[in-house]
């Protein structure tokens, strides 16, 4: 990705409400993830309405040295504001800046942010050119195939990015109209791979190591980006590496689920993250995916009143389950 090596060629996708510094470090600790990304952050939120930095947005952009290589992701529709925010991210020490042209959420698209920009390629060009001129670190972008199936722009977007000097591009091949429904059309990733020479990152519907390998074989993409699957399976990057090396991979047992939940909850407590209890309840749904009697633990955690109570519930639950096994 420009001068930044991404080894292995696996990337943790930016996910709002998920990829904060604690979760990113949890993923880093499992190994074999080549690049991690921040939650997508409003460019206006970074610089503030008066040109000053806003504290709330800087919570999204805080990171620790062990997170490198790390990219910040920004969204917005004002080219100069985007450039100013990108320059701040560069000053903070990020290895790259990524622009979000993919978010399908209405409150973002109605202001021409995220995939809303896909309806105005002139605006996309202006944003990319202005931000690129403000940076010395690599600029990348993540985008969708188009606003809907009648307005596909993924090939034009890819070629424009290459012309401007964008270092790498990531395609989620659904349209904005699809949201997260239906299946990703990986043939669209193959189309942009055939159209440009810069690195192409494939994203969408990678749930297992087999999916990651199949995407590369079908599309020729240079790297894979994994989002929702990593929230319930933080070991997926390790599994991909093992699958490539041996043709099989390790599967987490109940004791591993216990360890990952305990570790994450301890990290949240130590970090004193905003809404620690809310985060614990949110991630209980992810981390108990596939756990025997996990629904009972989720209900108990939902009704808990303190972080210590939640941590005790997790320990007691898994102690009982391991004994029963």
CA dist 71 and 35 (Å) reads: 7
Q: The domain spanning residue 33 has which CATH number?
A: 3.20.20.70
4 found inside a domain: no
The residue among 191, 215, 246 that closes a domain is: 246
Burial class (CB in 10 A: 0-12, 13-18, 19+), 65: exposed
DSSP state of 284: H
Indicate whether 194 and 279 sit together in one domain: no
Q: Are residues 226 and 282 located together in one domain of the fold?
A: no
Residues 261 and 213 in one domain: no
Please indicate, yes or no, if residue 73 is contained in any of the structural domains: yes
Write the CA distances from 34 to 1, 56, 79, 235, integer angstroms. Answer: 11, 27, 29, 13
Rounded Cα distance, 261 and 266, in Å: 8
Does the annotation count 103 as an active-site position?
yes
Last residue in a domain, options 197, 213, 246: 246
Pairing of strands 36-42, 70-75: parallel
Residue 25 and residue 64 in contact, taking contact as beta carbons nearer than 8 Å: yes
> CA torsion angle for 304, 309, 314, 317 (degrees, to 10)?
-80
Do 174 and 309 have their domain in common?
no
Do both 168 and 284 map to the same domain? no
202 lies in some domain: yes
CA-CA-CA-CA torsion for 113, 116, 119, 122, nearest 10 degrees?
A: 10
Q: Which domain holds residue 305?
A: 254-324
Q: What is the pLDDT of residue 49?
A: 47
Q: Does a structural domain hold residue 226?
A: yes
Q: Which of 103, 111, 117, 221 is catalytic?
A: 103
Alpha-carbon span 34 to 31, nearest angstrom: 9
- Domain stop point among 246, 272, 295: 246
* Predicted pLDDT at 53: 54
Within a domain: residue 149? yes
Based on the fold, state whether residues 89 and 195 are members of the same structural domain.
yes
Bridge partner list, 170: 142, 201
Q: Residue 3: inside a domain, yes or no?
A: no
One domain for residues 161 and 306 = no
One domain, residues 261 and 240:
no
What is the number of structural domains in the chain? 2
**159 and 258 housed in the same domain:** no
Q: Are residues 293 and 167 in the same domain?
A: no
Instruction: Judge if 134 and 238 occupy the same domain.
Output: yes
Q: In whole angstroms, give the CA distance from residue 216 to residue 76.
A: 31
Mean pLDDT, consecutive 10-residue stretches, the chain (325 aa), reads 94 94 96 96 80 60 95 95 96 97 74 80 96 98 93 97 98 90 94 98 97 98 97 96 97 92 95 87 91 92 95 93 64
Q: What is the pLDDT of residue 59?
A: 75
Residues 265 and 262: their CA atoms lie apart, in Å, by 5
Tell whether 77 and 208 lie within a shared domain: yes
Closest CA to 161 of 133, 124, 187: 124
Looking at the domain assignment, is residue 153 inside a domain?
Answer: yes
Please tell me the predicted confidence (pLDDT) of residue 57.
Answer: 55
Q: What is the pTM of this model?
A: 0.93
Residue 319: CB atoms within 10 A of its CB come to 11
């Amino acid at each position: 990705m420009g001068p930044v090596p991404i080894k292995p060629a696996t990337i943790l996708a930016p996910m709002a409400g998920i990829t904060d510094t604690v979760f990113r470090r949890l993923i880093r600790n499992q190994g074999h993830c080549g690049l991690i990304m921040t939650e997508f952050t409003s460019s206006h939120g970074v610089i503030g309405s008066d040109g000053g930095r806003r504290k709330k947005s800087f919570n999204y952009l805080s990171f620790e040295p062990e997170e490198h290589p790390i990219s910040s992701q920004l969204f917005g529709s004002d080219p100069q504001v985007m450039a100013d925010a990108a320059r701040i991210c560069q000053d903070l020490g990020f290895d790259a800046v990524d622009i979000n042209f993919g978010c399908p959420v209405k409150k973002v698209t109605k202001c021409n942010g995220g995939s809303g920009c896909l309806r105005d390629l002139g605006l996309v060009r202006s944003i990319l050119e202005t931000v690129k001129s403000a940076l010395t670190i690599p600029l990348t972008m993540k985008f969708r195939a188009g606003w809907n199936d009648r307005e596909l722009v993924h090939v034009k977007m890819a070629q424009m990015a290459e012309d401007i000097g964008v270092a790498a591009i990531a395609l989620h091949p659904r349209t904005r109209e699809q949201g997260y429904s239906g299946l990703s059309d990986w043939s669209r990733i193959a189309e942009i791979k055939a159209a440009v020479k810069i690195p192409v990152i494939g994203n969408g519907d990678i749930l297992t190591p087999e999916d990651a390998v199949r995407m590369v074989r079908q599309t020729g993409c240079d790297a894979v980006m994994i989002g929702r699957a990593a929230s319930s399976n933080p070991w997926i990057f390790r599994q991909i590496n093992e699958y490539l090396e041996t043709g099989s991979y390790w599967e987490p047992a109940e004791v591993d689920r216990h360890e990952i939940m305990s570790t994450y909850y301890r990290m949240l407590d130590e970090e004193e993250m905003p809404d620690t209890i809310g985060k614990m309840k949110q991630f209980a749904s992810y981390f108990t995916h596939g756990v025997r009697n996990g629904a009972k633990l989720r209900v108990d955690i939902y009704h808990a009143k303190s972080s210590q109570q939640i941590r005790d519930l997790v320990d007691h639950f898994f102690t009982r389950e391991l004994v029963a096994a």
